[in-house]
Amino acid sequence: MRRFDQMSQKTEKSLFTSMNRQVGRLIQQYGLIEDGDRILVAMSGGKDSSFLLHILSDFQKKAPVDFELFPVHLDQGQPGHEASPLQRLVESMGYDLHVEYQDTYSTVLDLTPEGKTYCAVCSRLRRGILYRLAREKGCNRIALGHHREDLLSTFLMNAFFNGKLGSMPPVYRIEEGDLHVIRPLATVSEDDIRSYVEIQGWTVLPCNLCGSQEGARRKQMETMLSEMERSSPQIKNSLLAALGNIHRDELMDQSLWIGDRRAMATTAE
């Protein structure tokens, strides 16, 4: 039993060290966190957002900049939803959890056409509430728990179904210009997060909207990636690298060629 505990501790430490290194590198590369930031951490109660607060808390203790973390959980009015396990987890990390109640559950069911997935309407409503809360609570950044697989499945969904090349950036400024959205886990593997959370024994709150739709396109993309990974173990890392390695002259976007032609014409004049 003691040997098993030692092995678990070693696995936990190595997992955290690896993910901590990835998060630290991303924060530095993209300037995700700056001195004086007050960051709203969106806590769904799932494994990803729980780990997000945990690793940002660790970064906060040793970072060369001062910043605040403000954990927020949106209670969307789902039947049987109970936020107390998440509240206890957040408190164990040294923070108070702000629980915001908004019955978006009923709204999503009403606005989503039959046969369509709930995700688009649900995420739009959540986003609006988080923006409002960030402004009310004096936050200038919102941290989301999207991981590597979220970026890759979004990239494939855009390419396959929307006819465009795009994914989730590690950081972006919203249209109104007053808030930044950051994704510190953008390069971290979902499997690593899941393993770490399981080792910790944290309670994960289920989602009765997304989890109820098996035919969602994102699930299809995730399944496809997992199947391809069996024969090509590095495929996810390769796809992630591709998102940051764009060759403009190898694409068919006409605006790129038109811009080059105009530049050449201006130079010729």
Question: Domain range for residue 17?
Answer: 2-217
pLDDT digits (tens, 9 = 90+) for 38-58: 999 999 999 999 999 999 999
The answer as to whether 234 is a domain residue is no
pLDDT, residue 213, reads 46
Q: What is the mean pLDDT of the chain?
A: 87
| Residue 186 near residue 149 (C-beta atoms within 8 A) | no
d(CA 59, CA 66): 10
pLDDT, residue 34, reads 97
The answer as to whether 40 is a domain residue is yes
**Range of lowest pLDDT (124-133, 186-195, 231-240):** 124-133
For the residues 146-154, what does the mean pLDDT come to? 96
The answer as to whether 128 is a domain residue is yes
pLDDT digits (tens, 9 = 90+) for 212-224: 444 578 889 999 9
Select, from the ranges 19-28, 123-132, 250-259, the one with the highest average predicted confidence (pLDDT): 19-28
The answer as to whether 238 is a domain residue is no
pLDDT beyond 60 at 6: no
pLDDT, residue 2, reads 42
The answer as to whether 59 is a domain residue is yes
pLDDT, residue 216, reads 74
The answer as to whether 260 is a domain residue is no
For the chain, what is the domain count? 1
Q: What confidence tier does 116 reach under pLDDT thresholds 50, 70, 90?
A: low
pLDDT, residue 214, reads 44
The answer as to whether 181 is a domain residue is yes
pTM of the model: 0.87
| 78 burial type by CB count under 10 A (0-12 exposed, 13-18 middle, 19+ buried) | middle
Q: Could you tell me the CATH number of the domain that includes residue 48?
A: 3.40.50.620
pLDDT digits (tens, 9 = 90+) for 59-76: 999 999 999 999 999 988
